[in-house]
Amino acid sequence: MEKIQANNNKLPSNLPQLQNLIKRDAASYTEEFERQHSVYAATCVIFEQNPTIYNEQLHQMVMFLAQISHCYPEKLSEFPQEMVTMLKRHGSVLHPEMRMSFVKSLVLLRSKNMLAPTDLHTLFFQLLHCQDKNLRKFLKEHIVTDIKNMNSKSKNMKLNKELQNFMCDMLTAKHAVAAKTSLTVMIELYNKRVWNDVRTVNIIASACFSKITKIMVAAMKFFIGKDHEAEVESDSDSENENVVMKSAMMTAKVNKKTKKNQRKLEKVKATARKNEKKNRIKANFDFSALHLIHDPQNMAEKMYKRLEKMNERFEVKMMTMNLISRLIGVHQLYLPNFYPLVQRFLFPHQREVTKVMVFAAQAAHAQVPPDDLEPVLHTLANNFVTDRCSSEAMAMGINSIRELCARNPYCMTDDLLQDLTQYKTHKDKGVMMAARSLISLFRGKNRELLAKKDRGAPTEIHAERKQEKFGENKALSYIPGAEILTFRAQADDDRIEVSDSDDDEWSDVQNSHDEAKGKIANEQDGDIEKVYTSKAALKEVMKLSAEERAARATDVVSSRFLTDADFARIAAAQAAKEIEKFSISNKRKSKKRKLEDEEKLESEEIVSLKSIEMIYKKRKHDKEARTGTVVAGREGREKFGYKKSHINPDASTSNKIKLKTKNFMMLKHKIAGKHKKSFREKQIKLKNALLKQKKNYK
């Protein structure tokens, strides 16, 4: 008992031990708590007389009461408000450590739900006026963490709206630090997907017109910076990409291993990877904050007017141009005055001219009239794609033209395009590759603008696509490539992923049954569906015309829901179409078969005109017939080869002629000596040879 009594006597001076005991059994230590609470009240009275001095005892008492506040909620009900009042009254003159201890005590009280979040955040934003960098950093982190924790389980819309209104008011406050902190908090909450709604985005958008440069730059960086959603790839995207890749890889196993098939396999894999990347980028970009702006046209026009009168640094002007161009491209706005502004910066000597090229391409879309973009296109061609510019500038110019035309191909003329494509044989590799990429772009966009030699062989995918005119926007009622789902494989042995459509290149895969059964599957509703495109199905698709394919695809889409396996099969078939050369021979053959079948159904008494005329073209020769024709053509002709110039065929040959039949090792020493001769020695030797030849001729 004496030992316990001794320990109890130490409790008034040992606050951590008393704190631990109160948390375990608060009722047994009520007297000790009341004694400490009275000490706290007396210390506060002394502290109020000189708040600029650091008080160690008050610091310990404040943290002690904040830790045990949940044990005596009734007796400490006024304690949070006392801390708030003290900070409001003496916040700017308090000692930094003392001020930080008061703030941390309020954070503890907020975690125990003894203080409303609105009251706490209002106080913290007032404390941002203090010249204390560590305190401002702590306050900003706590505001973000507190709002995130409040919305962890379910979003409290009423509380969020109150806090958003408060943040919006702080953005327009005169104090720059408080306004900048409120903007930073909202941006972090959006990136953490806590406040990723329309209201938050539009509040941040209003900060783009702030008179304070730091706030304006921070708001523009939010819209220009990399989207949070684009940083993380979804599992479904990677799975779909793997399915298509594995689907293409199976071709090498079940088909005949030839170089042509291997090249086609690589092209199919590259095409599938490229298409998947485009779809993933578009899907990620569709969720960016730019799409949530209420009135993008009005915002773009206001920013353009401000840009014309802006006196900020060059980097800020470039940032403003970037945001305007993104608004135009994403929302397909019409701002004709922006393009002449961009033209003023398109010169090789211009600072950060590559970024200006990006802005010009970003501001182009299919709804911009070609007359507005043609001057930009000609400026790029005249200022960059000329022989007086360096190879790097020429490559950048062609690449920027390609990116602009990828978004609006209607502004390109055939004369300019054919001039640019002439650089496909340029000695510099960068210029050559840029010109070839431009050719590749227009093969898919508008093949008619290219010279005939640059158009390349049309593929099946080109036959399906129809050239659109400016302002024309066709909405498809089907999924391109869905017609492959109307064909079913005859057997598992016959199933491949992507293969050639030529009749002479189909290989027998009867012995590859076990190998072709590598599972490329997706689990859906407990079922496993095989993702295969049969060679027979692909051949039948190639025989159909574009109208027939569209009709079949429409029937498939309207009749049932498509699974992930169906989409993977469609992607594999579409990748094969992009490398498969277009041919109407199969379609003509199929129509001919239909006509023959109809004729068989007719009466045999009817005699057709074709059976009388029997006019056919000359049949192709087989290999034996061609060989016989070649041999027959050689008869009576002089033997092909070197003809001797001697009059007498029995005369001996010269040493020069004998050198041609000698072994190389016998002549190696002579050839090595020739390489070591100087230019003057070669001149003398040539002169003597010519004089000797002239003498012999006489």
- Residue pLDDT, tens place only, 88-121: 888 888 888 999 999 999 999 988 888 888 888 8
Return the pLDDT at 653: 77
Assess whether pLDDT exceeds 60 at residue 180: yes
Q: Which residues pair with 527 in a beta bridge?
A: 524
233 vs 159, more confident: 159
Give the amino acid at 344: R
* 358 CB burial (10 A radius; 0-12, 13-18, 19+): middle
d(CA 77, CA 346): 67
Give the pLDDT band (50/70/90) at residue 615.
very low
Most confidently modeled range among 545-549, 550-554, 681-685: 681-685
**Of the listed ranges 158-172, 273-287, 366-380, 491-505, the one predicted with least confidence:** 491-505
Return the pLDDT at 4: 44
Assess whether pLDDT exceeds 50 at residue 492: no
What three-state secondary structure class fits 646?
A: coil
Assess whether pLDDT exceeds 50 at residue 513: no
289 vs 674, more confident: 289
What three-state secondary structure class fits 675?
A: helix
> C-alpha dihedral over 575, 579, 584, 585, to 10 degrees?
-110
d(CA 142, CA 139): 5
What three-state secondary structure class fits 676?
A: coil
Give the pLDDT band (50/70/90) at residue 283.
very low
CA angle, 526 then 527 then 531, to 5°: 140
Q: What are phi and psi of 541, to 5 degrees?
A: -65, -40
11 vs 332, more confident: 332
The dihedral sign for the CA sequence 99, 102, 103, 104:
positive
Assess whether pLDDT exceeds 50 at residue 676: yes
Domain ranges of the chain: 2-217, 230-286+458-468+478-600, 339-456, 662-697
Return the pLDDT at 12: 59
pLDDT cut 70: percent of the chain above it = 76
Most confidently modeled range among 8-22, 353-367, 443-457, 499-513: 353-367
Give the pLDDT band (50/70/90) at residue 631.
confident
Return the pLDDT at 306: 93
Return the pLDDT at 169: 85
Q: What are phi and psi of 62, to 5 degrees?
A: -65, -45
Q: What are phi and psi of 524, to 5 degrees?
A: -145, 125
Give the amino acid at 226: K
Q: What are phi and psi of 22, to 5 degrees?
A: -65, -40
pLDDT cut 90: percent of the chain above it = 21
Give the pLDDT band (50/70/90) at residue 586.
low
Return the pLDDT at 647: 65
What three-state secondary structure class fits 581?
A: strand
CA angle, 458 then 464 then 465, to 5°: 85
Give mean pLDDT, residues 670-692: 84
Give the right CATH number for 2-217 from 1.10.3470, 1.25.10, 3.10.180, 3.30.70.
Answer: 1.25.10
